[in-house]
Amino acid sequence: MIAIVDYGMGNLRSVQKAIEKVGYKAEITRTPQRIADARAVILPGVGAFKDCMDNLENFALITPVLKAIESGKPFLGICLGLQLLFSESLEFGRHPGLDVIKGVVKPFSPTLPDPDRSGGLLKIPHMGWNAVRIMKPVPVLAEVKEGSYFYFVHSYYVEPEDRQTVAMLTDYGGEFVSAVAFDNVLATQFHPEKSQQQGLAVLRAFAALSEKG
């Protein structure tokens, strides 16, 4: 079973349906023991950083999430689930994260010029399809081709201290980190569950890791 962490925010059902579509069982849960028993864990998320951290704490899910990562089982963060892994976020102030990855979550600048609109500015949030640039080989991303398009919806981006964790970059008024990978952790700024065949390929490869070991 793959556990999808339910802390009251995020498109949980769409993630579950995508995992089921690639042939694996997924359970939406906020029960610590179910998360501990799972063969793999997914931390999705949509919303404000502080609200999500508050919910994780209120539902007593911070320790189960950290233990899942420490256990070495496959772990996937999606969108805000990527950002929550960082030390802190600058969204509406300065707020601590899970501190799994040293670094900060920053806002896109509202004054970035849009090269496709003369004199215009980039729209925020960054919403829609955009391409990825692969920065290092990651087995779970082996089916993703250079320049593949994924679906994004976000106003903030991550900046890790250790650039060795960066798996993908994407250009939006300059390059930002669109995926990180290290040890048993993969986390993406894009939504694989909304990214059609390329996204399903990522989820299939991740889910397959739950059968190993």
Give me the chain's average pLDDT, please. 94
Can you read off the two tokens belonging to residue 152?
């994004």
pLDDT of 116 > 80? The answer is no
Q: Return the pLDDT at 119.
A: 66
Banded pLDDT at 163 (limits 50, 70, 90) = very high
Q: What number is the average pLDDT over the span 93-119?
A: 88
> Contact at 8 Å (CB) between 3 and 27?
yes
Q: Which residue has the higher pLDDT, 213 or 87?
A: 87
**What mean pLDDT comes out for the span 176-196?**
97
Q: Looking at 52, 79, 91, 126, which residue is catalytic?
A: 79
The CB-side HSE value for 134 (13 A sphere, CA atoms) comes to 14
pLDDT at 122: 86
- Looking at residue 121, its pLDDT comes to 84
Half-sphere exposure of 59 (CA within 13 A, CB side): 19
- Taking 90 as the threshold, does the pLDDT of residue 213 lie above it? no
pTM value surpassing 0.85: yes
The confidence score (pLDDT) of residue 117 equals 65
Over residues 36-68, the pLDDT tens digits come to 999 999 999 888 999 999 999 999 999 999 999
Q: What are the domain boundaries of the chain?
A: 2-209
Residues 128-155: what's their mean pLDDT?
96
* Catalytic option among 52, 91, 126, 193: 193
**Cβ atoms of residues 198 and 191 within 8 Å:** no
79 assigned to active site: yes
**If 0-12 CB within 10 Å is exposed, 13-18 middle and 19+ buried, where does residue 110 land?**
exposed
Active-site residue (options: 52, 91, 154, 191): 191
Name the residue with tokens 């930002």.
176
At residue 118, the pLDDT reads 64
Q: Quick check: is 191 catalytic?
A: yes
- CATH architecture of structural domain 2-209: 3-Layer(aba) Sandwich (3.40)
- Report which of 143, 194, 188 is spatially closest to residue 168, judged by C-alpha positions: 188
Q: What is the average pLDDT across 76-99? A: 96
Residue 20 falls in the annotated catalytic set: no
